[in-house]
Structures are given as C-alpha cells and as structure tokens.
Chain A
Amino acid sequence: MGKKDKLSGEKSRNASSDYRQIFHEVSLKHASRRRITDKIISILAIVCVIGAIIPLGSILLEVIKNGAAVISIQFLTQPPGSIGSDSGGIGPAIQGTLITVGLASLIGAPIGILSGIYLSEFAPTGSGKGVKERAISFFANTIRLFNDVLTGLPSIVIGIVGYVTIVLAINSFSVWAGAFALSIIMIPIISRVTEETLKLVPNSLREAGYSLGISKSKITLFIVLKYAKDGVLTGVILAVARIAGETAPLIMTILGTSLFFTGLTGPVDALPLKIWRLASQPYESAHAFGWGAALVLILIILILSASIRIIAHGKGIRVRTGTI
C-alpha cells in the first residue's frame, strides 16, 4: 500500500512523460529500419520457397522431357540389348520392381500392421502403474524407440543386413534378400502409422464392444481396424512408395540382371537399380534409357502418392510422404 507514494504525484507523472518522449524519439529513429528489415525478410522467405520449388519443377520437367522421348511398348517390355545400343528396353527392371516390392509388402505390411496394433491396443503409452504394466510399458516404449531409430538408418546398411543374412546364407543374390531388406524399411513406417491411426479411434467404440461381451481380438480386428482402415492403408501405401524408389538396399541383395525373373532365389532387376547402372555408363543411349526408366518410376510413385491423398482426403489423416 505504501508503494502508492512512488506512483502518485507530479513527479512520477513528469518522469513518465519524460520517458515517453525519450522512447518516442528513439523508436522513431529505428522505425523505418525495422519496417525495411521486415520487408527484406519477407522477400527472403519467398525466395527460399521459390528456391525449393524450382528444383522440383526442373526435375519433373527433365524426367518428362527426356523420358517421354524413349518410352515405347518395346521399351517397357523388352529386355535390354547389348551395352551401348539403343535397342531393347527395361522390361526386366519393371517386372523386378513389381515382384520385389510386392514380396516385401507381403512380408512387411502384416508384420507392421500387427505390430502397430500391439502398440496401440495392448500397450498404449501411459498405462497402468503396477509392476506388470510398467514392464509392458517399458517393452513397448523400447519398441517405439527402436522403430524410430530404424527409420533413421541409412538404407545401404539395411542392404548389408540383407546381404549377410540371406545372400550369404543361401549363397546367391536373390529376390528374397531384396524383399527382406525392403521389408525392414517398411515395418517401422507401417507400425508407426498404424499405431497413430488406431490411437485416433474413439474409445467409445471399444467400450461398446466390450460391453457386448465381444472378445478383444474381434473388437480390434473387426471394429477398430475397420474404422481406421483408411489410415492404415495410407500407411502401407506410403511405405510402398518409399521402398519402390530405394536403390541402395538392392545393390547387394538382388544384384540386378538383364534377365527376366527366374525364381525367388535368383537375382532380379529393379527400376531404381537399373537407372543407377544406366546413368553410370558412358553411352548417350544408356542415359536416355535412364531417363525413361526414371519416368516410369516417378509415375509409379506419383500414382501411389496421389492415391494416398485421395484416400486420406478430408479424413484428417496427416501423412508425410517419404519421410517419418
């Protein structure tokens, strides 16, 4: 209450207007500089945005321009001709990509989805305080942590894993090795997206099921999963789009060949691998073929990404393409 003395009276009123005058003079000095700085930063920000979009535009433009020139039925279905010639095509590569990615998805999607189900339905974050619950919590959190770590691992290292475990084991470069390596990349992505999507399912659905006496497995599979199927599907397609473009893990697993598919235990070709090999050759025709293969690959990925957008549209599913 005694503080009033400091506040009241002419003295502080004048001090106030003295300060006011000082501030106004100082702020005037800086006013236009601050305005200009703000404008410059705004321009810089726009420059950054343009700087990011231009490469994207350029890439798409070049791929379409150079790739379209080479695309033909022959290109898409024939095996490659002799090195340096412009006959033949990338048929085996397209086939190989479909087979390897398909097999990887058959392995990775179920495991990823089920793992995500476990994390969401059987060990949700922050459950229970008892010893048993805490152990489960610790276990689940470790899995989540490891999933995060796995997504950050360089894909070339994953390729090495595929090499050591399968190629060496069966002594042959093979589709299995490639599919296995790709599935390692897929699983954490699908698991994470599944967990996040299932978490969004309102608990009232589960409770309704319990109150009707339905078993947990049925509730999860037929009620919860059904409700969230769009989101889960989105996660799977996301992972597929991601691995379709992966090259590094394939180098030492499927090896790449110029032949069509000969069996799951034999080598096979794939689009990204083919592009790499073609780009590394010194021949113009090879480079041209490379652009063509790139166009096919980009089209596949764009179709997958577009379908994600279509499925997820308006359903509040947040998806980050190609990243996690």
Chain B
Amino acid sequence: MTSGSIHLNTDIKERVSSFLVGDRKRKKIGDKVFHGLVLGTAAYTLFIIVIVVFSVGVGSAKIFSHEGFIGFVTGTNWNAVEGRESYGALPYIIGTLMSSGIALLIGVPMSLGIAFFLAEMAPSRLSSPLSFVIELLAAVPSIIYGLWALFVFRFLIKDWIETPLYNTLGPYIPFFNQAPFGLDVFSAGIVLAIMIIPIVSSISRDVMKAVPDTQREAAYSLGATRWETSRMAVFPYGKSGLLGASILGLGRAVGETMLVTLIIGNAIGPSAIPTTLFSQSQTLSSLIANEFNEASSDLQLSALIGLGAVLLILTLIINIGARLMVSKMVKVSPGVRE
C-alpha cells in the first residue's frame, strides 16, 4: 500500500508540473490578449473625443468658411432664402446663457436649501428616502419634463408668476414689460432650474456631509445656532465643492435640449434675442433639434452643426473653467499640520 501511494504521489506531481509548464505559456498569451483588449477599449474612449471633435469640425467647416468663425458667432441672421443665405449664432448664444442663468439663479439657492435640510436638519430616517425622491427627479427624461411643462406647468407659471410680475413691474421696468403667455425664456429658466436641482443638491449634500463634525462642534460651543454653524463652519469649508456642484448644474442646463424646444417659444433670427424676461427665444441646442431634419440646404445644415460647435466649445469652457476654479480653491483645503 505504501509503495503504491508513493508512486501515486510522484505521478500526480509530474502531471501537475507538466500542466503548470504548459499553462505558463497559455497564461502569457491569455494575459497579453486580455491586456490588449482592455487597453484597446480604454483607448477607444479617448478616440471618441477625437471623433466628436472631428465630426463637428467637418460638419461645420462649410458655414465657418462662409461666414467666418467670428462672423458666425456674432451674426444674428437666420436666412434660408437661396441666394441670400446667412446664418449667425449670437441670438441663440444669448438665449442659452439667459435661460441657464435664470436656471442657476433659481435652482442653486433651492438646491442649497435642500442640501442644508438633508445634511443638517433631517433626522437620518428621513434623509435617506427623501434623497431618493429627489434623485427620482433626475431619472425623469427631459422630454417628459417638456411635455409636462408645455401642457401643465406653463399655465401655472403664466398665471401665478409671470402675469403678476408683468402687472406690478412691467410699467416701470422695460425688462418686465411684455405680455407673457407662458412660452418664453423665463419659463424655460424655471423648468431648467427644476431639472438641475437633483444634481446640484445631491452633490452639495455630500459636500456638506463631508465637513467633519468637529468643525460644527467648535461653532456650537461658541453658542451658534444651526444656521450660523452652517454659515461659519460648513459652507466655507465646502466652498469649492459647492461651487463645483453649481457649475455641473450650469453644464446640464446649457446642454438641455428637448425641454427647451417645447417651452421657449421658438423664435428665430434677431427676434430670438431676449429683450425682456418674457421674450420668446431659442437656445443653441433647441434650434438644432427643431431644424435639423428640415434643413433646406447644405449650408443651413452646416450652420446647424456650427451651432453644435459653438455649444461644444461653450460646454468645454464651462467644464474646464470649473476644474480650474475648484482646484484653485482646494489649496485652502484644511488638514491639521503636525
């Protein structure tokens, strides 16, 4: 029995070691293939950016050579009549900035209020489900926001916000002096504000929660109220994060398309420049969506892609600008030195 089992052991040992030797070769090839595969896909994501820039560049080449880049960005025409074609992006740049600006003005304070509630006020049993509900707002597709805004919300805006403003401030301030009917840059701004609330408030809440409790205790021990503690110890500490959250919100508002097409009034050309709060207007993305499939000439199509190029540049500026700002502020970031 003993000698037999020794034989068995040597035999197994040989089989295992020959397997391991052959396996090493297989391993090497397998690993190389795998490494190549994942590297390739990662590089592909890099490549996508190249594709994006390339596509937009190629598509807009025609309009930029026709109008010149500066000419296009500062022009206000939108004339598709053959022989007199001329296109300019300025009204839509202004429309984009104004609607997003309104969205930030309304949405950021609301988001901070919500984040303050979730981070500082709510008992833990409430904050979890509440956060979930707010994030549900983010899951709703923008086209459904548009549907609701077009058929339901705009009447509420018109009756409860716009008309009172027009009646009280219109006579004195030209900016408010246009009879509102609900489809205008202001309405777009308000609904955009609702759209950016989930992202701005959830990031802000995380930023606030990340502030160490020792900071709050320091403030409380001096007799601060809850609000004073946030003002003194929480907000300054999380300044850069809060700013970053708002900028992300801005980026979202700028890129928003479908909702805007349904509620901004769809003006074209020079009349799309919003002169009052209740003007009909147009954003870069909404015009592209509205006209792309009906473009009557190559030049017009190129002009629409040109709008896309401007939008792309705008988004990149916001994105990169945000990073720079946040990284500058991070230098204030604390850490006990010892």
Measured CB to CB, the residues of A under 8 A from B are 27, 34-35, 37-38, 41-42, 44-49, 51-53, 55-56, 58-59, 62-63, 110-112, 114-115, 117-119, 121-122, 140, 142-143, 146-150, 152-158, 160-161, 163-165, 184, 187-188, 191, 213, 215-218, 220-221, 241, 244-248, 251-252, 255, 272, 275-276, 279-280, 287, 290-291, 294, 297-298, 301-302, 305, 309, 320-323
Contacts and interface: CB of A to CB of B under 8 A. Distances in A.
Interface string B121-156: 100000000101111111111111111101111000
25 contacts: A41-B116, A48-B114, A59-B140, A59-B148, A146-B46, A146-B49, A147-B45, A148-B319, A149-B316, A152-B251, A153-B52, A154-B311, A156-B288, A158-B52, A163-B59, A187-B48, A217-B35, A244-B141, A245-B140, A246-B141, A252-B292, A275-B143, A275-B147, A301-B139, A323-B199
Contacts of B289: 156, 248, 251
Interface residues of B, number: 90
Chain B interface, >50% SS class: helix
B293 interface: yes
A107 B186 CA distance: 40
Nearest to A214: B27
A276 B146 contact: yes
Nearest to B229: A38
B133 A323 contact: no
Contacts, number: 267
Contacts of B65: none
Contacts of A147: 45
Contacts of A165: 51, 55
A160 B308 contact: yes
A45 B113 CA distance: 5
Given A154-B285, A245-B139, A246-B141, 4 more contacts: A41-B116, A122-B35, A153-B315, A247-B142
Interface in B58-76: 58-59
B86 interface: no
A180 to B, nearest CB: 10
A165 B116 CA distance: 46
